[in-house]
Chains A and B, each alone.
Chain A
Amino acid sequence: MTLAPLLELLIFGILLGGIYGLSAIGLSLIFGIARVLNLAHGAFAVLAAAVSFVVIQATGLNLLFVAMLVVPLFFVAGYVYEILLIHRMLSFNRERRIEALILGTLGFGLVTESIVSIIIPRNFGVNYQFLPISFGEITVSTLRLLLLAVVAITTVILHFIVYKTWYGKALRATIDDAETAQLMGINFDRITSITFGLGTALSALGGILLLLVFNISPNMGFPITLKVLAIIILGGLGSILGSLAASIALGISETFAGFFLDTAWSNSISLVVLLVVVLIKSEGLLRR
């Protein structure tokens, strides 16, 4: 086994991880502010991919352009989703709230997925022809480089948002100490809604980019959600860097597993990771 194909796999794994990472950061932010594990997160990604696919097929516009239209749309979607559904459930008492959130986000994910399967009743993906670039022995598709660039740029923009804007400061303040933040005039509800919008937009972007990588099936919503959950729990709930690191790790493992074993098993990796991680997390909460 020569080095070149392995390096290609590695690059692909990092790329895949980066795309997962976008969605993971989105969920991480949502969890950070609202302590909600949004089980519909992956479904949004798939819906975004489906919508973009339809638009591309219909208009022939290129994907990045479509993404720039669709992603803000999903910001709004996430915002409205929070206001209409999540907000109501957040006001329940503690015991009922967890149940309600699980079932409610689960149900919404199902609804979203069924809408996708009605719009596009089959697997779908997008293929662009790009000229590959060679670095010595390694051939990398320009496409992948482009995707890496998009992910990197998005991360930078995100960093800017979280650390330099008013919203970002308010977000960090609220995550740190919600009560004091509110006393200082920060509107918790507004921040939560904005964060849901942002998180959903990120997930949407991840979904759209995924179109370029492999074929998406309409019921990929939940597997993606569980992958993202595994990532953020592994990387530390609420930690952006941790989520990024964990997503790249997962992307690489999935890629190598898919190559050496079977594609079917690569999806199970994230499930096993999730089960293990959730076990460790719960044990850790037990006695200390």
Chain B
Amino acid sequence: MIIMKTAEDIVIAALALATMSAVPFVSSSYIVFLLNGIMVLALCSLSFNLVYADTGYMNLGNSVPFGVGAYAFAFALSHNWSATLAVVVSILAILFFSALSGIFIVRLKGAYYAIGTLALVLFAQALAYNLGWLTGGYQGIIVNVAGGSAYSAYYILAFLNAVLLLLTAAIRKSSFGYRMRSIKGNEIVASTLGINAAVNKVIVLIIGSLFAGIAGILSTSYNGFVTSESSFGISITFLPVIMAILLGSFSIVAPLIGVTIVALASEIFVTTIPQLTDFMLGILLILAALYPKNLIVLKNSRFLKNKSGVRSASS
């Protein structure tokens, strides 16, 4: 994929960067909150895509590390630990859980992978409900956050999204990327080429989970609360998946526009008719199933071509 190959791309990216940096200064905190929400979803989406695009495995349980990060951070803060300590502990928790579940998940093949990860989410949901002493049960945990936290979260989120985009591109070009794509291309052949599929899958899962988990930490930091619904609920579990699949291989501009539209729409739904949120998500999932990658007309075909200018067949 091409990032910043042509002058046009650079201009667009620079403009986008400038606009985004200016936003918090000129708009209300509601807008900042909204954009934060969108960027959280975008980060989760990129994290899902990291595993999905190159290995072909659908980790439907990407909201689990998100929730772990969100809850761990909230737990730490509510016990009056310092912010730094809270972050460190949360990241350790994320790594621990993703490594643990990763070792089991990567042994699953095909449809079982998706079903297994889905079961994990429900299991996490149940745990969040029942382990009241840890998670606050149904109510969740509320923390006091500093006034300007939404603004710092804004910049951190934007930065992380950019980092993950670049990282995904870098991985794709690297040997690691080739190994992962060969796993998707033909796992049996890959193993005869000397590639340890399991290890590679765990590594990419941990990387993706790390970003999803940090998104969770940030979510708690500016929202001031965490609940079972906000961390393992349907929206946070499926919206990133929908966005990743409907948008296919990435470029800079198109997915961000698409992400914004989808997230804005869901915001509107959530605030007006909550029941219809699930309805809309369901419809979008069905559309993603039937018409992946075709839905966004905005997509510039230039972005789909790899370096040698040839359209790769399964882009």
Q: Do A and B come from one complex?
A: yes
B-binding residues in A (CB < 8 A): 37, 85, 88-89, 95-96, 98-104, 106-115, 117-118, 121, 222-223, 226, 229, 262, 264-265, 267-268, 271-272, 274-275, 278-279, 281-283, 285
**Pairwise interchain contact B119-A110, C-beta atoms closer than 8 A:** no
Q: Which residues of B contact A279 (CB under 8 A)?
A: 104, 107-108, 116
- Decide yes or no whether B286 CB sits under 8 A from chain A: yes
Q: A85 and B130 in contact (CB under 8 A), knowing A272-B123, A282-B107?
A: no
B109 touching A285, Cβ below 8 Å: yes
Q: Does B245 contact A (CB under 8 A)?
A: yes
Contact A282 B111 (CB under 8 A): no
Asked whether A275 lies within 8 Å of B245 as measured between CB atoms, the reply is no
B residues sitting closer than 8 Å to A (CB atoms) are 56, 58, 104, 107-112, 114-116, 118-120, 122-123, 126-127, 129-130, 234, 238, 241, 245, 275-279, 281-290, 292, 314
Do A114 and B119 touch across chains, with their CB atoms under 8 A apart? no
Contact A274 B115 (CB under 8 A): yes
Q: Which of B58, B286, B292 has the most CB of A within 10 A?
A: B286
Note all chain A residues with C-beta closer than 8 A to B279.
110-111, 114-115, 118
Residues of B contacting A285 with CB < 8 Å? 109
Contact in complex: A278, B112 (CB < 8 Å): yes
B129 touches A99 (CB 8 A): no
Q: How far is the CA of A234 from the CA of B194 in the complex (A)?
A: 34
B120 contacts across to A, CB distance below 8 A: 275
Contact B290 A282 (CB under 8 A): no
Across the interface, do B126 and A271 meet the contact criterion of CB distance under 8 Å? yes
Asked whether B104 lies within 8 Å of A275 as measured between CB atoms, the reply is yes
Find the A residue at minimum CB distance from B113.
A282
Nearest neighbor of B241 in chain A, beta-carbon distance: A103
Complex A-B, nearest 5 residue pairs according to Cβ-Cβ distance, in ascending order: A107-B285, A110-B282, A104-B289, A111-B282, A114-B279
The reply to whether A113 and B278 contact each other, CB–CB distance below 8 Å, is: yes
Query: Which residue of chain B has the shortest Cβ distance to A113 in the bound complex?
Result: B278
Instruction: Give the most central of B109, B126, B275, B292: most A CB within 10 Å.
Output: B275
Kindly report which residue of chain A lies nearest to residue B283, judged by CB atoms. Answer: A111
Known: A110-B278, A110-B285, A282-B112. 13 other contacts (CB 8 A): A89-B290, A99-B289, A100-B289, A100-B292, A102-B58, A102-B111, A104-B289, A106-B282, A107-B285, A107-B289, A117-B278, A264-B129, A274-B119
* Alpha-carbon gap, A101 to B58, bound state (A): 12
> How many angstroms from the CA of A63 to the CA of B241 in the assembled complex?
40
**Residue among A104, A114, A283 having the largest count of chain B Cβ atoms under 10 Å:** A114
Complex CA distance for A106 and B126, rounded to whole angstroms:
19
| Bound Cα distance from A76 to B164, whole angstroms | 47
Bound: A280/B281 CA distance, A: 32
Closest B residue by C-beta to A105:
B289
Q: Which residues of A contact B245 (CB under 8 A)?
A: 99, 103
Evaluate contact between A114 and B276: CB separation under 8 angstroms: yes
B115 touches A107 (CB 8 A): no
Could you tell me if B282 and A108 are in contact, using CB atoms closer than 8 angstroms? yes
Q: How far is the CA of A264 from the CA of B228 in the complex (A)?
A: 14
Tell me whether A229 and B122 are in contact in the complex, defined as CB-CB below 8 angstroms, given that A95-B56, A264-B129 are known contacts: no
CB pair B126–A267 under 8 Å, yes or no, is yes
Assembly CA distance A101 to B110 (angstroms): 12
Complex CA–CA separation, A222 to B281 (angstroms): 15
Which single residue of chain B is at the shortest CB-CB distance from A40? B282
Which residue, A103, A222, A283, has most C-beta atoms of chain B within 10 A?
A103
The reply to whether B107 and A103 form a contact with Cβ atoms under 8 Å apart is no
Bound Cα distance A262, B287 (Å): 39
Residue of B nearest to A104 (CB): B289
**Could you tell me the distance in whole angstroms from the C-beta of B20 to the nearest C-beta in chain A?**
31
Contact A271–B275 (Cβ < 8 Å) = no
* Contact partners of B275 in chain A: CB under 8 A: 114, 117-118, 121
Give CA–CA (A266, B189) in the complex, Å: 42
> Closest B-chain residue to A100, C-beta based?
B289
Q: Give bound CA distance, A282 to B114, whole Å.
A: 12
Q: Residues of A contacting B282 with CB < 8 Å?
A: 106-114
A36→B259 CA distance, assembly (Å)? 30
The interface residues of chain B lying within 8 Å CB-to-CB of A89 are 289-290
Contact (Cβ within 8 A) A110 B234:
yes
Q: Inside 8 A of A107's CB, which chain B residues have their CB?
A: 281-289
A87 to B211, CA, bound (A): 37
Q: Give the complex CA separation of A64 and B137 in angstroms.
A: 38
Nearest Cβ distance between residue B136 and chain A, in whole angstroms? 15
Tell me which residues across on chain B come within 8 A of A101, comparing CB atoms. 111, 289
Q: B247 CB to closest chain A CB, in angstroms?
A: 14
